[in-house]
């Protein structure tokens, strides 16, 4: 039962009596539909106390509103805004209409939505127990350290060292509200002298939004299908910072090998610049062992002051977690905390505490191992079904990694038309031009699309690929 908070309800001094003033004030709220149909009004005693009037004043005002059709009375329950108002006050078309039914949330996790993990496989009961473990801690209810929970930072430092060869101490980690905030802070940290930044093209659209918001000049760093980042363009650029997804380039699905990573580190060292390393999908490599992080390689030669490492656990665990982190050169930590303080303040405390336990007690590693096997199986099925139902019409150009496959084809249906057709069947196809920030779609002689398979049940992959093939060819 939805209750009305009287909020700014005020009695006008123009009315003859307080009863008339209260009647007019409530009627105006109802007629303007600021108090929605069916909502419960405060009790007569409570409203009298709130407004500093006698209870009889409220009772008589309610009774008059009920008599004139603005309120409905339910025995033992109180007064409610009438579902049908008097004819002379029927709302006009441009007035707000409160929804009679709950608003249905848009489904962002439909079949083949990119970037969505298998949510059904997450150990929700374990996660709930960890949250409950910390719910009663009064110390977590107040404001917390802007940098993030110390135990979480310690757990992440250990995990990143063992899994990604990241070299850092907990005091170099900053917890953020998702990778998106981490990317924003990282970009701003590199912009003290120059707001130009090399951006993978095609590249991660969310990073492009960050750069646009903060008025960065985006300089394209071309990524070629099956070949990867064009380092010659990077080395000849005058920019001092670059954003890269070296483990599984999004969306083309290429990777930077050891030699390419060392070459990029040398560029940053020579330029005195920065690499923003978004270690996207590094946990899920199916064809080969993952390469060490750029940050770890740079640390071996004493040059990790040129690398800002960005990570997120949302794709590993679940999207709604919204928990990311930065691994920073020590010289950047203070400025990063100033930026985070301005953008959001501290991060959700109970979630951090539960996540610290999830990482430290080994649950994160166990979950990643299980999901790596599952995603490898899903990827194999995706490729097999695409070959079966599309034959030579399309090709998979992304590596065996991550939670998506990238398709390329020549001629035939357009990216947008295929995506629109698929949408009518509840299937998401991400047109390739979504990832292009420099209007280069017209320069391509091929079309492309990205299909995310993370949240698609194994037994649904074949029928949905079959449907997509029929839509593609029809």
On whether both 157 and 195 belong to a single domain, the answer is: yes
On whether both 73 and 158 belong to a single domain, the answer is: no
Is beta strand 71-74 parallel, antiparallel or unpaired with respect to 78-81? antiparallel
126-135, 167-176, 342-351: which range is least confident on average? 342-351
- Do the domain assignments include residue 104? no
The domain boundary residue, chosen from 314, 341, 364: 364
On whether both 237 and 334 belong to a single domain, the answer is: yes
Q: What is the mean pLDDT of residues 420-428?
A: 94
pLDDT-derived band at 440 (thresholds 50, 70, 90) equals: low
Q: What is the mean pLDDT of residues 222-238?
A: 95
- Do the domain assignments include residue 94? no
Determine the pLDDT at residue 96. Answer: 46
107-116, 315-324, 447-456: which range is least confident on average? 107-116
- The residue with greater pLDDT, 327 or 14, is 327
- Do the domain assignments include residue 99? no
Which CATH number fits the domain that encloses residue 329?
A: 3.40.640.10
Is beta strand 228-229 parallel, antiparallel or unpaired with respect to 241-244? unpaired
Q: What is the pLDDT of residues 182-203, one digit of tens each?
A: 999 999 999 877 789 999 999 9
pLDDT at 91 over 60: no
Alpha-carbon distance of 128 to 363, in angstroms, equals 13
Q: What is the pLDDT of residues 271-323, one digit of tens each?
A: 999 999 999 888 899 988 888 999 999 999 899 999 999 999 988 999 999 99
pLDDT at 95 over 60: no
By percentage, how much of the chain surpasses pLDDT 90? 76
Q: Which of 76-85, 431-440, 463-472 has the highest mean pLDDT?
A: 463-472
On whether both 346 and 439 belong to a single domain, the answer is: no
Average pLDDT, the chain: 90
Residue that has been written with the tokens 């009518």 in this structure: 424
Burial class (CB in 10 A: 0-12, 13-18, 19+), 124: exposed
How many domains in the chain?
3
- Do the domain assignments include residue 105? no
On whether both 348 and 442 belong to a single domain, the answer is: no
Residue that has been written with the tokens 């992440």 in this structure: 156
Task: Provide the CB-side half-sphere exposure for 392 (13 A, CA).
Answer: 0
On whether both 337 and 444 belong to a single domain, the answer is: no
- Do the domain assignments include residue 132? no
Q: What is the mean pLDDT of residues 77-86?
A: 89
Positive or negative torsion for Cα 39, 43, 48, 49:
negative
Q: Which two tokens stand for residue 337?
A: 């905390």
The domain boundary residue, chosen from 81, 98, 123: 81
Q: Which domain holds residue 25?
A: 18-81
On whether both 373 and 333 belong to a single domain, the answer is: no
- Do the domain assignments include residue 7? no
Q: What is the mean pLDDT of residues 166-188?
A: 95
pLDDT-derived band at 93 (thresholds 50, 70, 90) equals: very low
Alpha-carbon distance of 404 to 383, in angstroms, equals 11
pLDDT-derived band at 466 (thresholds 50, 70, 90) equals: very high
Alpha-carbon distance of 307 to 144, in angstroms, equals 27
pLDDT at 92 over 60: no
Which CATH number fits the domain that encloses residue 46?
A: 1.10.10.10
On whether both 245 and 147 belong to a single domain, the answer is: yes
103-107, 114-118, 131-135, 255-259: which range is least confident on average? 103-107
Which CATH number fits the domain that encloses residue 394?
A: 3.90.1150.10
On whether both 261 and 353 belong to a single domain, the answer is: yes
On whether both 171 and 248 belong to a single domain, the answer is: yes
Determine the pLDDT at residue 94. Answer: 42
On whether both 430 and 353 belong to a single domain, the answer is: no
The 8 Å CB, 24+ separation contacts for 158-164 are 158/359, 158/360, 159/359, 159/364, 159/365, 160/293, 160/309, 160/311, 160/327, 163/283, 163/365, 164/279, 164/282, 164/290, 164/292, 164/293, 164/295, 164/296
pLDDT at 167 over 60: yes
pLDDT at 461 over 90: yes
Determine the pLDDT at residue 136. Answer: 86
pLDDT-derived band at 107 (thresholds 50, 70, 90) equals: low
Sheet of 430-431, strands arranged across: 395-396, 404-409, 447-452, 430-431
Give the pTM. 0.83
- Do the domain assignments include residue 103? no
The domain boundary residue, chosen from 331, 364, 397: 364
pLDDT at 218 over 50: yes
Q: What is the pLDDT of residues 42-75, one digit of tens each?
A: 999 999 999 999 999 999 999 999 999 999 998 8
Q: Which of 71, 16, 17 is nearest to 42 (CA)?
A: 71
- Do the domain assignments include residue 405? yes
Determine the pLDDT at residue 468. Answer: 97
Alpha-carbon distance of 139 to 294, in angstroms, equals 38
Q: Which of 165, 157, 159 is nearest to 291 (CA)?
A: 165
């Amino acid at each position: 039962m939805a209750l009305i908070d009287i909020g700014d309800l005020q009695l006008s001094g123009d009315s003859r009596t307080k009863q008339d003033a209260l009647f007019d004030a409530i009627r105006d709220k109802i007629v303007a539909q600021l108090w929605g149909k069916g909502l419960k009004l405060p009790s007569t005693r409570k409203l009298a106390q709130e407004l500093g009037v006698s209870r009889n004043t409220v009772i008589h005002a309610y009774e008059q509103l009920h008599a004139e059709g603005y309120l409905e009375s339910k025995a033992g329950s109180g007064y409610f805004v009438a579902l049908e108002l008097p004819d002379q006050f029927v709302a006009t078309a441009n007035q707000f209409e409160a929804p009679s039914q709950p608003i249905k949330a848009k489904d962002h996790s439909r079949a083949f939505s990119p970037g969505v993990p298998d949510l059904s496989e997450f150990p929700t009961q374990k996660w709930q127990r960890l949250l409950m473990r910390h719910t009663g801690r009064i110390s977590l209810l107040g404001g917390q350290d802007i940098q993030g929970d110390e135990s979480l930072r310690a757990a992440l430092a250990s995990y990143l060292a063992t899994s990604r060869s990241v070299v850092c101490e907990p005091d170099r980690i900053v917890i953020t509200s998702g990778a998106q905030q981490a990317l924003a802070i990282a970009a701003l940290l590199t912009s003290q002298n120059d707001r130009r930044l090399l951006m993978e093209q095609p590249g991660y659209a969310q990073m492009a939004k960050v750069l646009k918001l903060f008025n960065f000049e985006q300089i394209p760093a071309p990524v070629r299908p099956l070949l990867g980042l064009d380092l010659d363009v990077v080395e000849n650029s005058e920019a001092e910072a670059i954003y890269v997804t070296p483990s599984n380039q999004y969306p083309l699905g290429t990777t930077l090998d050891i030699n390419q990573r060392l070459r990029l580190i040398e560029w940053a060292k020579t330029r005195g610049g920065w690499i923003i390393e978004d270690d996207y999908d590094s946990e899920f490599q199916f064809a080969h062992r993952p390469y060490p992080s750029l940050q770890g390689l740079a640390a071996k030669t004493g040059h990790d002051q040129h690398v800002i490492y960005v990570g997120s656990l949302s794709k590993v665990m679940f999207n709604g977690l919204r928990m990311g982190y930065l691994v920073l050169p020590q010289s950047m930590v203070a400025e990063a905390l100033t930026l985070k303080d301005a953008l959001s303040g501290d991060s959700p405390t109970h979630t951090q505490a539960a996540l610290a336990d999830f990482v430290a007690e080994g649950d994160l590693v166990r979950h990643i191992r299980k999901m790596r096997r599952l995603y490898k199986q899903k990827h194999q099925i995706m490729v097999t079904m695409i070959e079966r139902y599309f034959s030579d019409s399309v090709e998979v150009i992304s590596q065996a990694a991550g939670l998506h496959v990238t398709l390329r084809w020549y001629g035939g249906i357009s990216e947008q038309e295929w995506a629109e057709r698929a949408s009518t069947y509840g299937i998401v196809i991400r047109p390739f031009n979504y990832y292009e920030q420099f209007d280069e779609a017209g320069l391509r002689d091929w079309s492309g699309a990205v299909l995310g398979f993370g949240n698609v049940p194994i037994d649904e992959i074949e029928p949905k690929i079959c449907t997509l093939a029929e839509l593609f060819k029809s």
